[in-house]
Structures are given as C-alpha cells and as structure tokens.
Amino acid sequence: MAVAVNETEIAYAGVAGQAELIRNGEISSVELTQTLLKRIERLNPSINAFRIVMADEALAEAATRDGAGAGRTRPLHGVPIAIKDEIDVAGQLTTFGTAARTRPAAADGELVARLRTAGAVIIGKTTMPEFGQWPFTESAAFGYTRNPWDLSRSTGGSSGGTAAAVAAGMVAVGIGGDGGGSIRIPSACCGLYGLKPTRGLVSTAPYQHLWHALGTQGPLARSVRDSALVYDAIRTELPGHELGFATAAATDPPRLRIALSRKPAQRGVRLDAEQAGALEQMAAALRELGHEVHEHDPDYPEVAPAFVPQFYGGVRDEVALVERPDLLERRTKQTLALSRAIPESTVRWAIRRGAQIAERVNHFFEHHDVLLTPTIAALPRRLGALDGIGSLHASLRAVPYVAYTAVWNLCGNPAASIPAGFAGDGMPCAVQIVGAPGQEPMLLRLSAQLERARPWADRRPPLDPA
C-alpha cells in the first residue's frame, strides 16, 4: 500500500471512504480487495455471510480498475461489493439459498451490470434462506448465518448474509432484496442503514419480478451517504430524482410533519420494550431537530389477502427455475404444496387488490410527510428459528419481524430502517421511516440529518483486537 493504513480502518471506511483512498492513490483497488479478502478469510468461517467468495475474479477485476486511470472519477471505482444470492452474477450460481439450482448464470443481472459500470468490484455472493421465504438466514444447504454483534443470534433475513458481511466490515456495502422487509429487517438486526426503494426504481432483470408486485432490490450500508451513492449507480430515473440521491443526502430537510405510530399492520404483535424505547428516543431526536412529531396511526386494511398469494406465487415461480427439485428443503416443498391452492388468477387479483390498498393507505401522506414506526417488533432472536418446523409454523415465527415492514412492500412505498442505539443485551435497535412513493430523496435527507445528530456508523461489532 502506498500509505500504511490499519486493516480495520480500511474495512470500516465505507464506500465513500474506500473510493476516496483509491482516488487519492493511498491504496489501489487490488490492495483494497486483498485486504478485504484476508478479512473475509478470517471472519467468514465463524459468521457465514458469504455463500461463495470470488477471490480470483475480484482481484482480476480490481486490477482492471487500477489500469483504468480515467475511470477513477466513477463513484464506486475499485470498491468491492457483495451480492445477495438471488441476483445473477455471470459465471456463478444464483442459488436463491437452495442446493437445488446447479446451472451458473450466463450474464450479469441488470443491477450487477450497473454496479460494474460505476466501477465496483464484485467480491462474492451472500447467504439467504431458501427462496428468501423467512426473516431468518438459515438454510439446510448453507447453514446458519451469525450476527456479528453476537454470534449466537440471528441476522434476520432474508438478506442476512449481506447484512452480516457489511456489519463485520468484510465489505463496505452489499446488495439485498426486499419482498416483505428483507433489506430493513437484517439492517435492523445488524445495526445498518437499509432503504427499500419505491417499487420499480431498481431493475430486477433478467427476472421479470421479485415476488410479483412485492419485491425490489437495493443496498445495505453502514451510512446514509454510502446507500445514496450506490442507489445513484443502480436506480432508474423517476420524476423528482434529477439531482441525485447523494446530493439529497448532503442537504438537511425542511421542517417535516412526522407521524409516530406503534401500531403494526398485523394484529396480535407485541412490541418489545427496548424497541419501543428506541422509537421514543428517535421521536425526541426528531423534535430536537425541529420537526413536528405527533402520534397518528395509518388506517391499515387487512393486508394478508393481497400479500399471501403474491408470496406463494413468487416462491412458486422461483422454484420453477431449479434443476434438482428433489434437493429442496422440506419447508419449501410444503410452501410449494400450499401454493398449488392459489391459481394464477388469484395472484393477479392480489396484485390488483394491493394497488387498491396502496391507494387507500397513501391518503395518509396527504397530511403527513413521514411515518415513524419500529422496524421490527422484537430483538434479534437466537439461532435455530427454523429448526424442526414446517412452512406454516415458520410463517408464524416470522410475524414479529414483518409486522411493520411487509405492508410497504404491498403498497410499494420507500421505507428505511435506521439504527437507533442498542438494547441492554448489546443487540442493535432500529426504527423505520416511510414516505410516499418516489420520496426517497426526502427520506435520505431526513436519515442523514439523524445520522449527523446521532452518529451510528462508528459503532462496530466486537470482532477486532482492541
């Protein structure tokens, strides 16, 4: 390295910091990639964040970045990024968390192609539960993924491998997917910032959809700025986004009307006392920043009739891609059996019903700029959430983790999980902010303002020598 820099500081420098080190000639992309590969080699055996590490490919790509002098101005130039294993990377399996897929992808997915165009280095693919069905990153094929804050605890899911990799400093940022909370839930469990974008903002090509109208993809990051930088590289253009997300994140928002709600969209969910306390503290912080914060609950209709058919239909569509259905988990075979009771006509009805629910719920944002809720109702649970149970039982165990998030997949709104301190047992707490469709710039401005007022990115799991 041109300048001797501590491995841990490099690892936690973030996307912006790592890109700046490369631009300034303090480190090359190859040296950065080698540093992170050594860290992955040391930490991944105990955490299990990566399904596969693409060491040779990443070093070759990093060398190409170092040879492209003019490309150093690209925002992600030379920065290694991890990809959730439901997104195609050329020459690699897209497993969806299962052993039943055996044919490598012929080409990069659109999101990965955009990352490469922005100068990123693809370093590996991260773990997930089979077909992303559960908010716990555990699978028969690839085992438990462990939370860097406490190796006996869950990372959440389904983008749990990505969350663990970022939280542990194995990469500065990773890509996840979110069909019911799968960016926000693992971000909440691992102390990260995770913004689910408006439906349609990020392409899922070559796949036509991610669980029909429910899913989208995006980054999990340590900072708001890093998230914004990656979104500027992967997003499509929508009205109101012309200035760019990174520019938005650098600007304070105006005084906002923020509604505080503890009410989950699903009945029968009890909010953990420490998550409730974190919500109150964040509301106080927002008031100190000059925003109007008052208690008001959205008018949530019953969301299951519109959500459940799309979930089952989406998993069914993904299972249809496998070459070895005999290797599917027993739970997935049960999900598949249940999905046969839901014809395609019901899935199409559910999509239309979801649009009607979205229209009704979004009237809320005619009188409020932002909704503030918990992200998850519980703290990260112990590993083994899926041990010995079937599909329906797993769905019941998922409820406290999706009770505040899944409705916004149904409605298509942008929603972000924001770190909100730590519980007494040392596990991260989090809150969720939600905006009207297309309001990512406002959510990023508010998130960045909170980050400046109550910084979180300097908090690190106990993985490195003091």
Q: Domain ranges in the chain?
A: 7-453
Per annotation, catalytic residue among 28, 84, 187, 223:
84
pTM of the model: 0.97
Per annotation, catalytic residue among 139, 158, 227, 391:
158
| The pLDDT of residue 240 | 64
CATH number for the domain formed by residue range(s) 7-453:
3.90.1300.10
Per annotation, catalytic residue among 28, 139, 159, 182:
182
CA proximity to 206, closest of 113, 311, 125, 103:
113
Say whether 182 is catalytic. Answer: yes
Say whether 203 is catalytic. Answer: no
CA distances (Å), origin 100, targets 13, 126, 274 = 37, 17, 40
CA proximity to 457, closest of 185, 187, 142, 191:
191
Instruction: Quickly tell me which residue has 């070895």 as its tokens.
Output: 324
Question: What is the residue-wise DSSP string for 144-195?
Answer: E-EETTEEEEE--SSSHHHHHHHHTTS-SEEEEEESSSTTHHHHHHHT-EEE
φ and ψ at residue 92, rounded to 5 degrees: -115, 155
Per-residue pLDDT tens digits for 328-363:
999 999 999 999 999 999 999 999 999 999 999 999
Strands 257-260, 370-374: pairing is parallel
Regions of the chain where pLDDT drops below 50: 1-4
Say whether 158 is catalytic. Answer: yes
Encoding tokens for residue 138?
Answer: 């555990």
Rounded to 10 deg, the angle between the 344-361 and 304-319 helix axes is 140
